[in-house]
Structure 1
Amino acid sequence: MNGTLSLAAKHGPSYKWLVGITCMLGTFMEVLDTSVANVALPHIQGNFAAGTDEITWVITSYLVANAIVLPITGWLANQFGRKRFYLVCLAVFTLASLASGLAPTLWFLILMRVIQGLAGGAMVPMSQAITLDAFPEEEKGYGAALYGMGAICGPIAGPLLGGWLTDNWSWPWIFYINIPAGLIAFYMAYTLIEDPPYLEKPEGRVDWQSLVFIAVGLGCLEVFLNRGDRYDWFESTFIQVFAGTAFLGLALFIWRSFTAENPLVDLRVFKLREFSSGMILIFLASFGMYGAFVCLPLFVQTLLNYTPTWAGIILAPAGVASIVAMGLAGASAGRVDVRILVGTGFAALIISMWMLTHLSLGVGISWMIIAWIFQGFGLGLVLVPLATETIIRVPPKLIGVSSGMFNLLRNEGGSVGIAICTTILTQRAQFHHARLAEWITPYNPVAQHGLVAMTAGLYPRAGMDPLTTGKLSVGLVGGEVTRQAFVMSFNDVFAFIVLVFVVAVPFVLFCKSPGKRQAGAVMVH
């Protein structure tokens, strides 16, 4: 307590901002690494002569490790001390990043990604808890805004930065960039962060059963979500086994959490209506956010032939819009009803996705940028109030648990969103292709007239005989049918995300503003 007071007195009003920037840097590093490797996978695959199924574990292993550690971060921070545990995580994450860049084999790289995911996953909820503790009650919105900048800007910057580094340097540099950032964050955290006075070491022995259940359940769930589409979901025995194991592990974990004398994760926090509704909202917001993050770059690169750099340019303005929105939300915390802020945010998200349901092969870049600006602005208005109000409702000693669950549902919402959106994309593309191809038959005079006209136009230019030119015309028409089918499937995906955001709106009514932590403490106990 005295250490914290002396640090605050030494740095004055700037202390809370220094702590917030320190934690934001850690959050940004971790979230960045969830997406920075995606664009470098072909280069890594070529370097290690790996198969497609093998190389995707570079991504999947990181997400699995993230999911396992997030819900138990609060317990670990209480057990070892928040500052000490945070510093260890920063150090391990930085060293694992160095080792990932130096990896001699693919499986060594995957092992380092697991270690990265464990250390980085624990950093994010601690960053949120430490930041909110550093700000006084009336300014916690600003703290949530700083945390949100790292959480939202990381996925936006990841593909752009990863593509640029891979193209201009080499793929190991997507990991090396964490080293200077990690050293700076470690020094700042060591200098500025102190454990809060209310932090207590958990009583009794570790509930190892809960730890095993949550590790198995969440680990298998991530494998199920990330590999399901590749193996055609429940048509695969592999996926069936992981889905069943995930369900069993999570069910046993929930049972153990309510029956153990000293549970690893105190799920009583979900008795708070505002906290539960906030968890649902962050899950649904992340569902749409990550689903759109995957689909829009995929659309512009595969169908419009944009380079990764130009795909990043489309996404970049959303980061600026998010920062503006988070600043507004932080300044409005405690002054404007949180339901107004979050409701406005979801309205902006719905407008964004509705605009993207009108994509075509002739769509202008300005239309996509404007749509994505709405996306960034909406996420900023949603994330900051939820990150503030869902945490402020719980007793101080449960802030680590609530931060862990908040970030777990943010991550899992993203994983579920990506899995479902990519599945819809694949299945609807097949559906639309079959429907469009029904019209390209010898019995459709319009289609035959078009083929004859195309063949006549190509014949004098192609320098081929009429038969070969006719086959070329059929191939071109088939390719166009495939492209149009995928355009229609992308529109279907964004329409589905609109529906997800609409479903989220009623849960906004369960939020309250302004919130008081003491009220939450009474309700939980």
Structure 2
Amino acid sequence: MQPLPPQPQVNPPHVNPWIVAVAVMFATFMEVLDTTVVNVSLPHIAGSLSASVDEAAWALTSYLVANAVILPMTGWIANYFGRKRTLLAAVFGFTAASFLCGLAPTLSILIFFRIIQGATGGALQPLSQAVMLEAFPPKDRGKAMAFWGLGIVVAPMLGPVLGGWLTDNYSWRWVFYINLPVGLASVIMTRLFIFDPPYIRRSRAGIDYWGIGMLAVGVGALQVVLDKGQEDDWFASNWISVLAVVAVVGVALFIVHELRTAHPVVNLRVFKDRTYAAGVFLMTVLGFVLYGSLLLLPIFLQTLLGYPALNAGMAMAPRGLGSFLMMPLVGTVLGRFDPRKVLAVGLVGASWTLYALSKLSLDAGYWDIFWPQFIQGASLAMLFVPLTTATMDPIRKEEMGNATSMFNLMRNLGGSFGIAGATTYLFRRQQYHTHLLGADVTPFNPQTQVYLKGIQGNMVAHGADPSTAMHRAYGTIWGMVQRQASMQAFVDTFLMMSVIFLLVLPLLLVMKRPKHHSGPAAMH
């Protein structure tokens, strides 16, 4: 790739870039929050709209599918219609759809507006990121990405807690109404303070209808497979198998078509740059582990340690606190150190925290969970900010919208793979350990006989007849086996995620030193 010309900020000089940052931060935070805030409200939504929980889950799936389909097209849409116009329409559409979701009288209407919410929300992350990267000069982009990264890291952790609190104290409808003040503030600030760079205003290209169609079919089918595969036992289900084939064929045809067409809806040629390609892959892995561990820890706390749902959500707060405190520091440090070195520290730190979680037991206390979570949050700050800065450094400003679209799509798909992979691996390991531990629980095992007689004797002493007491004794022991098997399954899954972070460390050697890095090494 040819050396890049200087890329100055594009906002008019009378607009403070930090005002632009606040405007797009509102939009990003609102959209990312909505990917998790609805989860805990599903039983209430199902009951209120006379539907089963499985049927209500389509309110989540429909959002994710629409989001995944629009995300990669955002760069093209912004180039065609104008970035400001697209961002304004996306923020307004997302806010209006949120309000209409809250008013929905039936599940069908709720799902319809969730599709609109997902489609408009899909454009918010890449557009916000592109605006942020161009609003600031290269020397300040680390600080800008640290500010933007707060929304990306904190919002998914806050979502379940906020959703549970709103549902318990008000109604599930307030999970959607809460977006109104934030969305309206973002609409006003976008209208007043964000402007299009000249190269976007002049962009007019043909519409790649075939590319749009293949993208919608391939990515849409893939998202449904990832979201519904585990509950339908993956390829044991005919419809999941068919959708998987559709996803593979659709994505393959899309890639071939986009590389051949003159005006692609997604310019995949940006992946020719090794730094960008390695950075996108690292972000996919980061999404995999972040969303996978976000799912696992609350389940572990509730099912094995007996935490109430709200307390389990609050136990995730140290991760958000760690990110909140570390983000500004990382933004400042990036002006002095090579982002790849900061990334290496972040990967090792995140790996250690997952290893620490794999050492938890059924007797784990609050502080055993607090410190790994806090350090993990700090480590994530050392991953998101430098990874975004380094990955986008070689991208020309004309391709910034396209590049940020793919960057965010792969993070979200990585998250979907992480949730699906973590739940499947956890379930398989639980089966394995249940079989392994249960093999010794037989009437012929002397130690088992001692436990059975002890439990039976205690129950008989409290008035149970011997036959019923023995039956309950077996149930008690089997419950202990399943609890230990579940504990071992969580240990294995956390350890697997820890190893994944270490395995991607060599990719940092593939990435080039950022040309716009402003630290000491970049001055020579």
Q: Does 1:489 align with 2:477?
A: no
State the match for 2:268 in structure 1.
267
Matched residue of 1:198: which SS?
helix
2: CA distance, partners of 1:448 / 1:95: 64
State the match for 1:445 in structure 2.
446
Q: Does 1:480 align with 2:480?
A: yes
Matched residue of 2:515: which SS?
coil
2: CA distance, partners of 1:288 / 1:55: 26
**Percent of pairs with identical residues:** 42
CA distance change for structure 1 residues 6 and 343 in 2, over 3 Å: closer, same or farther? closer
- 1:281-430 → structure 2 map (5 Å cutoff): 281-430=282-431
Matched residue of 2:13: which SS?
helix
2: CA distance, partners of 1:149 / 1:440: 49
2: CA distance, partners of 1:5 / 1:251: 36
Deviation per residue, 1:418-459 (Å, 9 max, x gap): 001000111111111111111110110101111101221232
State the match for 2:458 in structure 1.
457
2: CA distance, partners of 1:311 / 1:124: 28
Deviation at 1:38, TM superposition (A): 0.6
Deviation at 1:267, TM superposition (A): 0.9
State the match for 1:521 in structure 2.
none
Matched residue of 2:316: which SS?
helix
- Write the letter of the residue equivalent to 1:385: P
Tell whether the 8 Å contact from 1:203 to 1:262 is kept in structure 2 after alignment.
no
Deviation at 1:359, TM superposition (A): 2.2
State the match for 1:141 in structure 2.
142
1: CA distance, partners of 2:326 / 2:382: 6
Of 201-210 and 24-33, more deviation after overlay is shown by 201-210
Deviation at 1:101, TM superposition (A): 0.7
Of 124-133 and 386-395, more deviation after overlay is shown by 386-395
1: CA distance, partners of 2:479 / 2:27: 46
- 1:188-203 → structure 2 map (5 Å cutoff): 188-203=189-204
1: CA distance, partners of 2:258 / 2:111: 31
CA distance change for structure 1 residues 474 and 138 in 2, over 3 Å: closer, same or farther? same
- 1:161-172 → structure 2 map (5 Å cutoff): 161-172=162-173
1: CA distance, partners of 2:273 / 2:498: 28
Deviation at 1:18, TM superposition (A): 1.2
CA distance change for structure 1 residues 5 and 100 in 2, over 3 Å: closer, same or farther? closer
Deviation per residue, 1:149-208 (Å, 9 max, x gap): 111111010001001111111111100000111011111111111112332554432010
Deviation at 1:19, TM superposition (A): 0.8
Matched residue of 2:510: which SS?
coil
Tell whether the 8 Å contact from 2:150 to 2:323 is kept in structure 1 after alignment.
yes
CA distance change for structure 1 residues 145 and 82 in 2, over 3 Å: closer, same or farther? same
Matched residue of 1:8: which SS?
coil
1: CA distance, partners of 2:123 / 2:10: 26
Deviation at 1:367, TM superposition (A): 1.0
CA distance change for structure 1 residues 273 and 334 in 2, over 3 Å: closer, same or farther? farther
- Write the letter of the residue equivalent to 2:351: I
CA distance change for structure 1 residues 203 and 183 in 2, over 3 Å: closer, same or farther? closer
- Write the letter of the residue equivalent to 2:49: F
Matched residue of 2:66: which SS?
helix
CA distance change for structure 1 residues 391 and 257 in 2, over 3 Å: closer, same or farther? same
TM-score, normalised to structure 2, is 0.95
- 1:82-97 → structure 2 map (5 Å cutoff): 82-97=83-98
1: CA distance, partners of 2:510 / 2:261: 30
State the match for 1:55 in structure 2.
56
Q: Does 1:115 align with 2:116?
A: yes
CA distance change for structure 1 residues 514 and 239 in 2, over 3 Å: closer, same or farther? same
1: CA distance, partners of 2:11 / 2:444: 85
- Write the letter of the residue equivalent to 1:465: D
- Write the letter of the residue equivalent to 2:461: P
Deviation at 1:7, TM superposition (A): 5.0
CA distance change for structure 1 residues 193 and 456 in 2, over 3 Å: closer, same or farther? same
Tell whether the 8 Å contact from 1:80 to 1:201 is kept in structure 2 after alignment.
no
Tell whether the 8 Å contact from 1:286 to 1:411 is kept in structure 2 after alignment.
yes
1: CA distance, partners of 2:222 / 2:214: 12
2: CA distance, partners of 1:211 / 1:439: 57
State the match for 1:224 in structure 2.
225
Tell whether the 8 Å contact from 2:349 to 2:376 is kept in structure 1 after alignment.
yes
Deviation at 1:282, TM superposition (A): 0.5
Matched residue of 2:504: which SS?
helix
State the match for 1:469 in structure 2.
469
2: CA distance, partners of 1:188 / 1:39: 31
2: CA distance, partners of 1:222 / 1:375: 27
State the match for 1:76 in structure 2.
77
Deviation at 1:55, TM superposition (A): 1.6
Deviation per residue, 1:340-382 (Å, 9 max, x gap): 1000011111011001111221111111111111211111101
- 1:144-159 → structure 2 map (5 Å cutoff): 144-159=145-160
Deviation at 1:498, TM superposition (A): 1.1
Deviation at 1:6, TM superposition (A): 8.6
The runs of 5 or more residues in structure 2 that have no matched partner are 1-8, 518-524
Deviation per residue, 1:479-500 (Å, 9 max, x gap): 1111111111111111111121
Deviation at 1:412, TM superposition (A): 0.5
State the match for 1:17 in structure 2.
18
State the match for 1:523 in structure 2.
none
2: CA distance, partners of 1:386 / 1:158: 24
1: CA distance, partners of 2:198 / 2:142: 22
- Write the letter of the residue equivalent to 2:216: A
- Write the letter of the residue equivalent to 1:211: I
2: CA distance, partners of 1:394 / 1:376: 28
CA distance change for structure 1 residues 448 and 189 in 2, over 3 Å: closer, same or farther? same
2: CA distance, partners of 1:52 / 1:503: 38
State the match for 2:40 in structure 1.
39
- Write the letter of the residue equivalent to 1:485: A
2: CA distance, partners of 1:385 / 1:513: 12
- Give the one of 13, 18, 28 matched to 1:8: 13
Tell whether the 8 Å contact from 1:337 to 1:513 is kept in structure 2 after alignment.
yes
Tell whether the 8 Å contact from 2:288 to 2:416 is kept in structure 1 after alignment.
yes
2: CA distance, partners of 1:25 / 1:223: 28
Tell whether the 8 Å contact from 1:216 to 1:246 is kept in structure 2 after alignment.
yes
TM-score, normalised to structure 1, is 0.95
Matched residue of 1:514: which SS?
coil
2: CA distance, partners of 1:360 / 1:61: 37
CA distance change for structure 1 residues 354 and 5 in 2, over 3 Å: closer, same or farther? closer
1: CA distance, partners of 2:291 / 2:154: 12
* Over 4 Å off, 4+ runs: 4-7
How much is the aligned-residue C-alpha RMSD, in angstroms? 1.4
Deviation at 1:333, TM superposition (A): 2.1
Deviation per residue, 1:368-404 (Å, 9 max, x gap): 1111112111111010011112112111100001100
2: CA distance, partners of 1:497 / 1:422: 12
The runs of 5 or more residues in structure 1 that have no matched partner are 518-525
- Write the letter of the residue equivalent to 2:13: A
1: CA distance, partners of 2:396 / 2:461: 79
Tell whether the 8 Å contact from 2:11 to 2:17 is kept in structure 1 after alignment.
no
